[in-house]
Amino acid sequence: MEQLDCRGLACPQPVMRTRDALAAGTNALEVLVDNEPARENVRRFLEGRGFTVAASQEGPDCWRITASAGESAASAPQQAAEASRPLGETNKTLVLITTETIGRGDDGLGAKLMGNFVATLPELGPRLWRIVLINGGVKLASQPGPALDALKKMAADGVSVLVCGTCLAHFGLLEAKQVGDTSNMLDIVTSLDLADKVIRP
């Protein structure tokens, strides 16, 4: 079993090192990380490629992730690549939200505008593919309000919502997140590349 010590590595390095190990043909590995976002990102990455995954906390700053290839692991990379691409017609739209408010001048007004913006996104129809929340934008997935309600409804309707794990940890919101997948910068950069159009309020 290959061992990867990814403690001390910034996002998305733990996922990238895990990806490289799989590309080299590893079918069983153990990954050590030192934070919850890294644990979640590595776990989700491996499960998305057909691996059976178990994670345990070894100490206050150490998580051990063990993974072994399942029957579907051989075909999973191709399936994962296909799933990450916008399906069907072109013009798939990604919305990148980097703060909980829109504009400058009055944060109270900015918060109302952001709530209205997020609630209006379903008007894009089937073109709306993915919503990415980074920096202060992750608060929208964690704090009660019109934006959270709208995000939950869109996620239930099939819109992908990615929430930056490093950002959640920075704001102390890992446990408060109520919608979306905790994600990493590799997923986010790949999503921006795959999108036909990016909207940033």
Q: Is 11 designated active site? A: yes
- Are 175 and 138 contacting, i.e. CB atoms less than 8 angstroms apart? no
User: Choosing from 11, 62, 164, 167, which is the catalytic residue?
Assistant: 11
Question: Given the structure tokens 């590349």, which residue do they identify?
Answer: 193
Chain mean position to CA 59? 25
Assess contact for 148 and 179: CB atoms under 8 A: yes
Nearest to 136 by CA among 156, 159, 107, 157: 107
Instruction: Please name the amino acid found at residue 82.
Output: E
Helices (H), 89-145: 107-120
The answer to whether the CB of 100 falls within 8 A of the CB of 140 is yes
Return the active site residues.
Answer: 11
